[in-house]
Amino acid sequence: MAVTTMAKAINAGLRKALENDPKVLLMGEDIGKLGGVFRVTDGLQKDFGEARVIDSPLAESGIVGTAVGLAMRGFRPVVEIQFDGFVFPAFDQIVTQVAKHNARSAGRTPMPITIRIPYGGGIGAVEHHSESPEAYFAHTAGLRVISPSNPADAFAMVQQAIACDDPVVFFEPKRRYWDKADVDESLDLATAPSPFRARVVRPGTSVTVVCYGPMVRTCLEAASAAAAEGIELEVVDLRSMSPLDVDTVAASVRRTGRLVVVHEAPVFLGVGAELAARITETCFYSLEAPVLRVGGYHTPYPPARLEEDYLPDLDRVLDAVDRSLAF
């Protein structure tokens, strides 16, 4: 057990995957000598060579499109999209090709591709560097979409994504790259929890708060603050947007009778909208209040000087909790 950052935990996970399976290879812009702009791939090219840790031309569609061919050839490509807002040139390849190959070929050409995308705001970046595009991908059948919220999960989940025979869009919450926590590098993936299941990260009785990725820490802080006022929030880390673990959320809502969904992505047609609908369908008689959502606005991601007002923070989460309890 060692204390490490999320960035280093993902690096360790990638290293394990490269060690354990010669068919795993990494490709992306600046991932080699530089080690990636966030240093997530630091040192991997030095140790595994240029044939397995590939610095690519500056072309996102090319990175994903060639990964399709590599996957057909039997490789397990892990591609890095440098920032969330840069994934759209590759959007066509991801949704029309990567997502559909397994179905079109009746399972003969599966796409065990992991698409790593640093996402979300809070680091004061310029435009196109702070977005949360997960709903686009979760909406597409054939893709799996997950996001870790802490270093231990990041270490396990990146390896699980690579081992999965389906394409996995792996969203890394970039403002949590430097969060530190214990990571057990001797973890046995065979017995580790599925990356496609949600987890109750703080039990409580008053309101269920569902979140994922960068919002988990925010919601845990909100839960601590609420506890001081006698409100016990149950915080659920969703971890996976597709598949969506409705069962775990529903079980929690049946205990608390209330649900607040929190994510950085715009509220409109987001993951929270799906959860609200599903929970209304499955837990109608358990609900004491309508499902409430906290998230980004229906605006382009604002300039960095305004992002504190755009991003859900502890106060906005607690405000939604109060509104839920007021019903």
In the complex with another protein, the residue whose CB is nearer, 255 or 278, is 278
Given a contact cutoff of 8 angstroms between Cβ atoms, the answer to whether 143 and 198 are in contact is no
- Binding flag, residue 199, another protein (CB under 8 A): no
- Between 72 and 289, whose beta carbon lies closer to another protein? 72
Q: Strand order in 207-211's β-sheet?
A: 199-202, 233-237, 207-211, 259-266, 292-296
Nearest distance in Å: CB 221, another protein: 30
Q: Is 129 in the site for another protein (CB under 8 A)?
A: no
By C-alpha distance, which of 141, 124, 137, 23 is closest to 81? 137
Kindly state the smallest distance separating residue 298's Cβ from another protein, in Å. 26
Is position 302 an interface residue for another protein (rule: CB under 8 A)? no
What gap in Å lies between CA 132 and CA 126, rounded to an integer? 14
Please indicate whether residue 129 is annotated as part of the active site: yes
Reported as type and span, the H/E element at residue 173 is strand 168-173
Strand partners of residue 53: 26
Degrees, nearest 5: CA angle 35-137-168: 50
CA distance readout (Å), 159 to 81, 114, 311 = 17, 10, 29
Would you count residue 165 as binding another protein (CB under 8 A)? yes
Q: Indicate whether 273 belongs to the interface with another protein (CB under 8 A).
A: no
Q: For the chain, what is the largest distance between any 2 Cα atoms, rounded to a whole number of angstroms? A: 60
Q: How far is the CB of 95 from another protein (least distance, A)?
A: 10
Beta bridge partners of 202: 235
Q: What single letter denotes the amino acid at residue 264?
A: E
Kindly name the residue from 129, 139, 263, 298 that is annotated as catalytic: 129
CB of 85 to another protein, least distance (A): 17
Output phi, psi for 14, to 5 deg: -65, -40
Smaller CB separation from another protein, 110 or 302: 110
CA-to-CA dists, residue 220 to 193, 213, 326, angstroms: 21, 12, 21
Phi, psi of 24 (to 5 degrees): -80, 130
Among the listed ranges 9-17, 40-48, 204-212, 243-251, the one in contact with another protein (CB under 8 A) is 243-251
Supply the minimum distance, in Å, between the C-beta of residue 228 and another protein.
Answer: 37
Report the nearest approach of another protein to the CB of residue 77 (Å).
Answer: 8
In whole angstroms, give the CA distance from residue 307 to residue 313.
11
Main-chain dihedrals φ then ψ at residue 117, nearest 5 degrees: -135, 110
Residues 15-44 that bind another protein (CB under 8 A): 25
Does the footprint of another protein cover residue 105 (CB under 8 A)?
Answer: yes
Residues 2, 34, 141, 269: which binds another protein (CB under 8 A)?
Answer: 141
Q: Which is nearer to another protein, 17 or 222 (CB)?
A: 17
Scanning 109-117, 171-179, 213-221, 253-261 for contacts with another protein by CB under 8 A, the matching segment is: 109-117
Least Cα distance to 312 among 83, 132, 129 occurs for 132
Q: If binding is defined by CB under 8 A, does position 325 make contact with another protein?
A: no
x/- mask, another protein, residues 43-82, rule CB under 8 A, reads --------x----xx-x-xx-xxxxxxxxxxxx-x-----
Residues engaged in binding another protein (CB under 8 A): 25, 51, 56-57, 59, 61-62, 64-75, 77, 89, 92-93, 96-97, 100, 102-110, 112, 141-142, 144, 164-166, 196, 242-246
**Which residues are annotated as catalytic?**
129
